[in-house]
């Protein structure tokens, strides 16, 4: 999977389909960039750039609700990816796959035999009941009652773990709870409740408390244990005893499968949706969870909220006062985690969680009065400047996630000495502000045996830490500008990750780095970055017991410009090696044997580095960038690459050939992907004249910005994906006609391509993209012979002159024509018979006249027409297009009216703009009949004169109150009004009629100064006013005109 897809992301969506948060999660997963505070446009532009022409896999897990407009908005950045990219959706809501157009794959229930095996595995740790004949019959009966659901078998198996008495199994089998009537979850919830019934009493309330978590929420072990302790669920007298007891309870719930470990971050856990439902059904009215997406109206019941003892508020992009009103009715609420000014008065408070409060700059000074406080979590508080004085008053602290040193005598870092019970992870930042070294000594960090992870961040002197036998597993030394000598970090026995960055004064790393005995016995990841003075890495010399880096799997050395010599030679377990911007590394005759290496990334280095790497027989991925002296590979180096699957070459300015002769490729039998990008001198795959035949057989090939490449290899019978970009000397596409695997062809910015007749013999082709081929003059007349083609996109081909478009393949599902200035008609392309077509876009086709637009197939779900000034008609009988959900018409200057019969009836999104000759008034469009319409964008230019009136919408003064209902459907959630040149006021009725409106844009209405008399809908979450000078002044915070009417809207953007 990791080798097939270049980019991968997994997102748990759950109940709320939040486009902003989903996009942010995907971008962070792919790029590891910080994305907090960024708007959706920034996120999508960045994501589009990172996915451009890359094959990606995105999994949207557990999707429950999504609107078509939200779905199409989410998809925008993914259109830039490679054609074989995949988006997988998991859902239990069948309408989801109809709406998204996805191909459904239904998971069958487990067979009784498989269910029995799963039950036996979780109950007895064996594959079947052969060793337990007394339980076999009972086990099969229980398995049958699981109804083929693996979660139920797993939970019941965990309940019966290590119980070999048949009576105990019989008790579960005959429990009356099997007969309980069930609700919307079928027979699952009562069966799961059976596992709850048999929990020890102390675990029951611990589990029920988890009802405060939203579905798919990931939590850390101690995060939940802290809350249990604060609620008094654990009975220990000492804080440490409670912590140990709570961890035991947590581990027991994990072993019983109530919690499941995250597959992405092993330090986090979550609950299955059905177990979350179970917790909520058990907790009933004592727990209350809400947020911007949860309903908090009367239908939830006022009495329910008044009885709640525990509440959680899940915040997001929009928060209104309505979201918080239910809390005012809670009479017995026991805990609500916030930070009021009077927090210092809560002398009994045991847990204070402020994680993620990124704008928090100071803690209250009286926080040190919280003498009962055991847990203070201030992770991800990037604005926090310093700790308050007398932090040593908090003598009961067990967990202090961060200590920020301030300018006043180091903010008393020595006070940490009086916090003897600290456990887990502690980050101390801004150590450059430490005034006296002895303060750090008084802190006695190495006497705190409970600390398992210590992170120190500072910019000045760092002295060697003393040996500590505790398990420090991860260490980062960053920005220590004056450090000249690294300590003996090799003697930390449990250290697994070490990052050394920005140590500007270090010039040599020698034996002292490793220490005296068994250096780095557990280290798996080592990274050196931005070490401008580092010249020498002296290799450790010792006995067999003293071989360093015996477990190292990932080594990164980058931006070390003066480092010379070679890398350590004995790296037998190294799996991934990255060397960037180390121009002098490996200027020696030493060689490095890397028998386990799977990935090698080299960038901006000396080409001689390749000669020092031998025995790369396990290598599967090779990426080389900016090796400016590399002309071609030698056969000896290529002979090692017997398992190579991917070869990527970028910006190698002198690369002319891959090899001197074809023999060097004989060993590349496993090669699946070959990408050569921005190598301007690359002429041929093999030196010499004549036909080029690759002895390897890649499935994917990318050739971008190879200005001198003239020919493609022949006989590429396994080729599935071919992408050629900016290769101006390529004139023909020599794809084998008998290749049954060819699926995708992308040709972009290739000036030499004038004809495409040869592609019609590639019958297996499924996707064809032609972009910016400025000399392409025609399309094949036999285009319809591509009997498997599902996608055709042609853009930026100004010389493509077609009087009448050739017949299309009937298999086509997506057709896009953009920037083809000489296409005159598509009337006879047989598009009406393309019964798989779902997407049609025609844009910037200046010669397209279309006096009689052809019928479109009923399967169409999205239609975009734009920048076609000569187009005189719209598709016939489009009111029969019952699947059409998005319609966009822009800058079609000759369109005067819509076809008879009205607009397509099931539209969700309708956009019309810059159709300046539209004669048909907007009141005659039939918009109120579109009862599913959610998003509407409309401008005054396209309204048939309606947008030029003083009041909008308005027919006469008597109808002003009902004017909105005469023009727009009440189902709208998004409305954009723009370019109304003479409109001075929006008439009343907006608030009452558009009661579901969430977002309102008012753009470029220079004379507009009045909003509706009764204000805007209370449902509104976002108001954007731009280019409306008169209205902008009246909507500012300093104005008394409209600010009182709009101040409750969560997001208001007013721009000139």
For the beta carbon of residue 997, count every other beta carbon within 10 angstroms: 23
Q: How far apart, in whole angstroms, are the C-alpha atoms of residue 728 and residue 999? A: 47
300 & 403 share domain: no
Assign 446 to helix, strand or coil: helix
In a domain, 393, yes or no: yes
pLDDT of residue 301: 44
pLDDT of residue 627: 92
For residues 301 and 357, state if they share a domain.
Answer: no
Q: Is 415's pLDDT higher than 90?
A: no
Residue 332 has pLDDT above 50, yes or no: no
Last residue of one domain, picked from the residues 310, 336, 362: 336
Tell me if 333 sits within 8 A of 309, measured CB to CB: yes
Which pLDDT value is given to residue 21? Answer: 87
pLDDT of residue 302: 44
- The pLDDT, as a whole number, for residue 313 is 57
The per-residue pLDDT for 708 is: 94
pLDDT at position 818 over 50: yes
Per-residue exposure over 177-190, b if at least 16 CB sit within 10 Å of its own CB, e if not: eeeeeeeebebbbb
Residue 737 above 70 pLDDT?
A: no
451 and 367 in a common domain: yes
Higher-confidence position of 344 and 532: 532
Domain that holds residue 240: 199-336
Residue 839 belongs to a domain? no
Cα–Cα distance for residue pair 268/287, rounded to 1 Å: 23
- Rank 219-223, 637-641, 724-728 by mean pLDDT and report only the highest: 724-728
User: Does 352 fall in a domain?
Assistant: yes
Inform me whether the pLDDT recorded for 11 exceeds 50.
yes
Mean pLDDT in residue range 901-928: 91
* Rounded-to-integer distance, Cα 1049 and Cα 1025, Å: 13
Per-residue pLDDT band at 460 (split at 50, 70, 90): very low
pLDDT at 453 (0 to 100): 78
For the sheet containing 424-429, what is the strand order? 402-404, 424-429, 451-456
Quick one: pLDDT at residue 322?
57
Q: Looking at the structure, tell me whether residues 28 and 45 fall in a common domain.
A: yes
| pLDDT interval class at 238 (50, 70, 90) | low
Instruction: Give residue 290's pLDDT.
Output: 56
Give the CATH number for residue 12: 3.30.370
In a shared domain, residues 332 and 238? yes
**Does the predicted model carry a pTM greater than 0.75?**
no
Least confident interval from 210-224, 369-383, 531-545: 531-545
User: What pLDDT digit, counting tens, does each position of 752-793 carry?
Assistant: 888 887 776 677 888 899 999 999 988 888 888 888 899 999
Q: What percent of the chain has pLDDT over 70?
A: 85
d(CA 1034, CA 167): 78
Q: Which two tokens stand for residue 152?
A: 């139920």
348 and 328 housed in the same domain? no
Contact, 403 vs 382, CB < 8 A? no
Nearest to 590 by CA among 564, 628, 629: 564
Based on the fold, state whether residues 323 and 427 are members of the same structural domain: no
- pLDDT at residue 31 greater than cutoff 50: yes
User: What is the structure's pLDDT at 325?
Assistant: 58
* Adjacent-strand bridge partners of 839: 814, 862
Q: Report, as an integer, the average pLDDT of 249-271.
A: 86
Would the pLDDT of 508 be above 50? yes
CB distance 1048 to 1018 below 8 Å: yes
Which pLDDT tens digit goes with each residue over 67-115?
A: 777 888 898 889 888 877 889 998 877 667 667 777 777 777 788 889 9
926 falls within a domain: no
- Model confidence at 299, in pLDDT bands (50, 70, 90)? very low
Q: Where are the beta strands (DSSP E) in 590-720?
A: 592-593, 599-603, 613-614, 621-625, 646-650, 673-677, 700-704
- Please check the confidence at residue 1027 and state whether its pLDDT lies above 70: yes
Owner of token pair 């819509």? 898
At 1003, is the secondary structure helix, strand, or coil? strand
- Which range (150-164, 866-880, 930-944) has the least confidence? 150-164
Specify the DSSP class assigned to residue 243.
Answer: H
Percent of the chain whose pLDDT exceeds 90: 24
Which of 345-349, 468-472, 488-492 has the weakest average pLDDT?
468-472
Residue 416 belongs to some domain of the structure: yes
Residue 590 binned pLDDT confidence (cut-offs 50, 70, 90): low
Residue 261 lies in a domain: yes
- Check residue 70 and give its pLDDT: 84
User: Mean pLDDT score of the chain, rounded to an integer?
Assistant: 82
Phi, psi dihedrals of residue 328, rounded to the nearest 5°? -70, -20
Please, which residues have CB within 8 angstroms of residue 51's CB and are 6 or more apart in sequence? 7, 30, 77, 78, 80, 81, 85
Instruction: Note whether residue 415 is domain-resident.
Output: yes
Q: Residue 556 pLDDT > 90, yes or no?
A: yes
Quote the tokens at residue 950. 């003083």
pLDDT at res. 424: 82
Model pLDDT, residue 575: 93
Residues 323, 203 share a domain: yes
Is residue 470 over pLDDT 60?
no
CATH number of the domain enclosing 301: 1.10.10.10
Mean pLDDT, rounded, for 518-543: 84
Whether residue 307 has pLDDT greater than 70: no
Could you identify the residue written with the tokens 């759950």? Answer: 14
Strand partners, 171: none
Q: Which residues pair with 818 in a beta bridge?
A: 795, 843
| Boundary of a domain, candidates 428, 456, 484 | 456
Tell me: do 20 and 68 sit in the same domain. yes
Q: How far is CA 42 from the centre of its chain?
A: 14
* More confidently predicted of 384 and 2: 384
**Final residue before a domain boundary, out of 416, 438, 456:** 456
Would you say residue 737 lies in a domain? no
Residue 446, domain CATH: 3.80.10.10
Q: Note whether 324 and 432 are same-domain residues.
A: no
Q: Tell whether 366 and 307 lie within a shared domain.
A: no
- 320 and 351 in a common domain: no
pLDDT confidence tier of residue 336, bands split at 50, 70 and 90: very low
Q: For residue 1042, what pLDDT band results from cuts at 50, 70 and 90?
A: confident
* Tokens describing residue 531: 């070490």
Residues sharing a CB contact under 8 Å with residue 301, sequence separation 6 or more, in sequence order: none
The count of C-alpha atoms lying within 13 angstroms of the C-alpha of 677, restricted to the half-sphere facing its C-beta, is 13
pLDDT of residue 76: 86
| Number of domains within the chain | 4
Q: pLDDT by residue (tens digit) across 981-1015?
A: 888 888 888 888 888 899 999 999 999 998 888 88
Asked if residues 90 and 60 have their Cβ atoms less than 8 Å apart, the reply is: yes
């Amino acid at each position: 999977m990791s080798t097939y897809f270049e980019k991968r992301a997994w997102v748990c969506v759950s109940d709320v389909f939040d486009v902003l948060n989903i996009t942010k999660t995907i971008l962070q997963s792919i790029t590891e960039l910080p994305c907090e505070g960024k708007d959706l446009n920034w996120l999508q532009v960045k994501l589009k750039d990172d996915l451009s022409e890359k094959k990606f896999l995105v999994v949207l897990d557990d999707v429950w609700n999504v609107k078509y407009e939200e779905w199409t908005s989410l998809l925008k950045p993914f259109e830039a990816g490679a054609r074989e990219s995949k988006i997988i959706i998991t859902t239990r809501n069948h309408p989801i796959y109809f709406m998204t157009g996805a191909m459904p794959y239904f998971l069958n229930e487990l067979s009784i035999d498989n269910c029995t095996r799963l039950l036996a595995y979780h109950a007895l740790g064996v594959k079947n009941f052969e060793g337990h004949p007394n339980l076999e019959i009972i086990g099969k009966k229980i398995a049958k009652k699981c109804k083929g659901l693996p979660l139920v078998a797993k939970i019941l198996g965990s309940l019966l773990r290590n119980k070999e008495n048949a009576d105990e199994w019989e008790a579960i089998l005959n429990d009356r709870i099997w007969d309980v009537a069930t609700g919307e979850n079928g027979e699952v919830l009562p069966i799961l409740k059976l596992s709850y019934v048999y929990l020890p009493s102390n675990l029951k309330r611990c589990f029920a408390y988890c009802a405060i978590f939203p579905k798919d929420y990931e939590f850390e072990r101690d995060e939940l244990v802290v809350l249990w302790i604060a609620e008094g669920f654990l009975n220990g007298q000492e804080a440490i005893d409670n912590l140990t007891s709570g961890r035991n309870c947590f581990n027991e719930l994990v072993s019983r499968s109530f919690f499941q470990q995250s597959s992405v971050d092993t330090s986090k856990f979550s609950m299955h949706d059905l177990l979350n439902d179970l917790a909520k059904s058990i907790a009933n009215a004592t727990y209350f969870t809400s947020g911007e997406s949860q309903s908090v109206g009367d239908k939830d019941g006022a009495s329910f909220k008044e009885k709640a003892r525990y509440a959680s508020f899940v915040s997001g992009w929009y928060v209104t006062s309505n979201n918080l009103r239910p809390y005012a009715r809670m009479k017995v609420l026991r805990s609500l985690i916030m930070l009021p000014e009077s927090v210092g008065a809560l002398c009994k408070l045991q847990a204070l969680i402020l994680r993620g409060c990124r704008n928090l700059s100071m803690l209250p000074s009286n926080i040190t009065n919280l003498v009962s406080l055991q847990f203070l979590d201030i992770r991800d508080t990037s604005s926090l400047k310093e700790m308050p004085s007398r932090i040593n008053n908090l003598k009961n602290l067990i967990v202090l996630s961060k200590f920020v040193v301030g300018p006043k005598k180091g903010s008393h870092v020595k006070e940490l000495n009086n916090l003897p019970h600290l456990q887990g992870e502690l980050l101390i930042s801004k150590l450059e502000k430490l005034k006296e070294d002895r303060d750090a000594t008084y802190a006695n960090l190495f006497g705190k045996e409970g600390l398992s992870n210590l992170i120190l961040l500072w910019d000045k002197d760092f002295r060697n830490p003393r040996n500590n036998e505790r398990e420090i597993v991860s260490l980062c030394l960053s920005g220590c500008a004056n450090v000249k000598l690294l300590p003996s970090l090799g003697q930390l026995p449990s250290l697994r990750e070490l990052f050394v960055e920005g140590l500007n004064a270090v010039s040599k790393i020698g034996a002292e780095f490793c220490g005296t005995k068994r250096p780095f016995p557990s280290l798996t990841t080592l990274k050196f970055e931005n070490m401008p003075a580092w010249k020498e890495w002296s290799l450790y010399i010792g006995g067999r017991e003293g071989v360093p880096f015996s477990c190292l799997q990932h080594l990164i050395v980058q931006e070390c410009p003066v480092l010379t010599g070679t890398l350590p030679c004995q790296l037998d377990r190294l799996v991934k090696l990255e060397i960037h911007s180390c121009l002098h590394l490996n200027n020696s005759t030493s060689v490095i044997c890397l028998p386990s290496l799977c990935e090698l990334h080299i960038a901006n280095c000396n080409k001689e580095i390749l000669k020092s790497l031998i025995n790369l027989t396990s290598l599967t991925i090779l990426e080389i960038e900016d090796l400016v002296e590399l002309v071609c590979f030698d056969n000896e180096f290529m002979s090692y690459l017997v398992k190579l699957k991917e070869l990527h070459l970028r910006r190698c300015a002198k690369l002319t050939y891959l090899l001197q002769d074809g023999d060097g490729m004989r060993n590349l039998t496993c090669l699946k992907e070959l990408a050569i990008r921005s190598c301007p001198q690359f002429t041929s795959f093999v030196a010499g004249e004549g036909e080029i035949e690759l002895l390897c057989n890649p499935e994917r090939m990318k050739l971008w910005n190879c200005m001198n490449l003239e020919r493609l290899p022949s006989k590429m019978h396994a080729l599935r994906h071919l992408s050629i970009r900016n290769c101006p000397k390529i004139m023909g596409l020599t794809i084998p006609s008998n290749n049954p695997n060819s699926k995708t062809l992308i040709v972009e910015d290739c000036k030499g391509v004038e004809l495409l007749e040869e592609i019609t013999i590639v019958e297996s082709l499924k996707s064809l993209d032609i972009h910016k081929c400025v000399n392409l003059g025609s399309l094949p007349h036999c285009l319809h012979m591509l009997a498997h083609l599902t996608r055709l996109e042609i853009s930026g081909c100004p010389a493509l002159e077609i009087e009448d478009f050739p017949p299309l393949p009937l298999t086509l599902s997506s057709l896009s024509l953009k920037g083809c200035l000489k296409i005159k008609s598509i009337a006879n392309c047989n598009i009406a018979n393309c019964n798989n077509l779902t997407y049609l876009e025609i844009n910037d086709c200046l010669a397209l006249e279309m006096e009689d637009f052809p019928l479109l197939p009923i399967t169409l779900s999205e239609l975009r027409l734009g920048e076609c000034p000569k187009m005189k008609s719209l598709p016939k009988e489009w009111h029969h297009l019952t699947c059409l959900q998005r319609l966009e018409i822009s800058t079609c200057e000759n369109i005067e009216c819509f076809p008879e019969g009205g607009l397509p009836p099931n539209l969700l999104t309708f956009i019309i703009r810059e159709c300046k000759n539209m004669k048909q008034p907007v009141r005659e469009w039939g918009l109120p009949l579109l009862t599913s319409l959610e998003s509407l964008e409309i401008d005054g230019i396209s309204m048939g004169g309606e947008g030029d009136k003083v009041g909008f919408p308005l027919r006469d003064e008597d109808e002003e109150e009902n004017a909105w209902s005469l023009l727009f459907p009440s189902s709208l959630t998004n409305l954009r009004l723009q370019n109304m040149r003479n409109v001075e006021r929006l008439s009343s009725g907006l608030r009452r009629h558009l009661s579901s409106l969430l977002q309102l844009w008012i753009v470029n209405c220079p004379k507009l100064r009045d909003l509706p008399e009764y204000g805007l809908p209370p449902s509104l979450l976002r108001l954007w006013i731009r280019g409306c000078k008169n209205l902008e002044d009246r909507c500012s915070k300093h104005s008394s005109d409209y600010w009182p009417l709009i101040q409750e809207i969560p997001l208001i953007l007013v721009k000139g």
